[in-house]
Structure 1
Amino acid sequence: MKKTVAIALASASVSLGACATMQPGEPAMAAAGTLVEKELAVPGFADFLAIDGDTVWTTNDGRVEQWGVDGKLASTVMPRPCGTMAVASGSLWVANCPDANLYRIDLDTAEVQTIIATGIANPKGETNVVSGDGSIWVPSAAQGAVARIDPATNEVIATVPVAPGTFYLAYGLDALWAVSSDAQSLQRIDPATNRVTGKVALGKQPGFLAAGEGAVWVQEQGDGTVARVDPATMAVSGRVPVGETLIYGDIDVGGGSVWLRTTEDQVFAVIDPDTLEVTARLGEPAGSGAIRYTPAGIWTSAHDNQTLSWWSKPD
């Protein structure tokens, strides 16, 4: 199903996804204030997303699945995949909540390569597996620990002490970033030392985060705001009011914008990282789900509707 969605921009001069930070030859993702949504029916509970070239992987009930804009491409059975996934070293890295371990899945064959006992800090599933600095990072204990895995050996090579209740991770701007919702804080972890080197207090119920476009961006889910944190000073340099709540949703960065999957008012919102203005609100509310940016378009999931959507500029 294709739907053309008109978007209201804060300024007529803004082109969604196009800005000075784009790489040479990278296409503007949208023009003239419209995006076309291609909706795909995905039975089950399609939720967290990871980009793999021009395809996307999603967690689902008892499996992870690979999808393209024309349909499903692959499926891998596992007990209960949970949280965001990482694509790195030719593999998909997925947390498995019931057994508190990490699955490594071959991107080409969709076969399980190995299962690594890491521990999972939040067995309810709101968590992140991320890649960066040649490693895979997993929140591994609710008491406060992040496991670092070497993909060459599939072994845990370091455990980083963090604040209790640290479930949310992002890698970018030369650091690992970790949010504890319980402690209402963002922590900066130096991958060279595996130590926390900075911390900043956040608003109510902070959760998913992204690092890029010059800052670290954190959903303050209980406040309905997105906090912008300066990576050098570890100070909150601004906040974006988006709605009454952001529970639970998702966030990503790229193409000169911050992309926020919301649960109320719209499917997702677009934020200008410099002005902190919400420049666009797209789609009818569709409950919780995930969002991932690519230069060609945006992937969103809506597990309550059993759909994935591909948002791209009109042909």
Structure 2
Amino acid sequence: MARSKSIPVEALALPVLDGVMLTADQNAMAALHASHSEECDTVNQLLGQAQMAGVFEAFSRTVRTSKLAFVKEKKLYRGLAGRKSPHGAQVLSGTWEEFCGLLGRSVDQVDRDIANLRAFGEEALDSMSRMGIGYRELRQYRRLPQDQQAALIEVAKAGDKEAFVDLAEEMIAKHTQEKDLLGRRLDEMKADYTAQSEVMAKKTGELDKARRELEVSRKRIQAMPADEVAKALRGEVAAIAYEAEASVLGPLREGFAKLEALAVGGEDHRVFKAGLIRQLEITLGSVRSEFNLPDQADGVAWMTPAEA
């Protein structure tokens, strides 16, 4: 039996490996692994130190807090991710809450310690701790203005508890008074604003009402004959003139009489009163001139019998 002819197989061309690139990738992976391992080692070390410092709470609060602040700032607590919780089978996800929980403390407590450390510094905070200054007082001190905080820090560094407490009480009392004063001013401003808002609302309502009445009057006047419109306007103008006359003969005359009574044996108010009368005369004269009115209305029927 004749043998079949063999088919030649073409050689597969493989890409040339880039040795430099391969080496770089390997180095990068190794560095990443080393960085992760270093971060885990660091957070484990700091966790142990913080736990140990917790045993000596009265002596090393600032030391422990400074380490906790470093962990939070650098986010080293993320290195706990993947570790098994010592309190059960739960696997840690690497959060700040978990890190604080491993120390047996709440996030609020640790954040409060860090806030005190950042506000007063290690030296002053350590000195205040030895003086027995508690969280309540430290919270009050943090609310003080920056210049007063700086003064407290300097006294705290000196270690004189009596001088520190006296200065702190004085500053807190002053700050409380200033705060109360600002509070009262704010209340007064709010009251003024409320009153002004009410006045503006009232004026706006009155203005809207006047506009509506004016629009009604305008439409009514447009529908009236000319003689009736003139009659209505004369009545309105006469009422205004009567009101002005009543003001002169009423309140103005009464005020003049009171000044006259005070002038007995004292200052003469006649020049002042004459000035007011003169101003009224000038005003009336200006109106008379504007409309070219006669000086006298004698013999002229300026009011109809119905208007009179």
Sort the TM-score into its range (normalised by shorter chain).
Answer: under 0.3
> Which structure's residues are more often strand, by fraction?
1
> Which structure's residues are more often helix, by fraction?
2
TM-score (norm 1): 0.18
Larger Rg, first or second structure (1 or 2)? 2
* Larger RCO (alpha carbons 8 Å, 6+ apart): 1
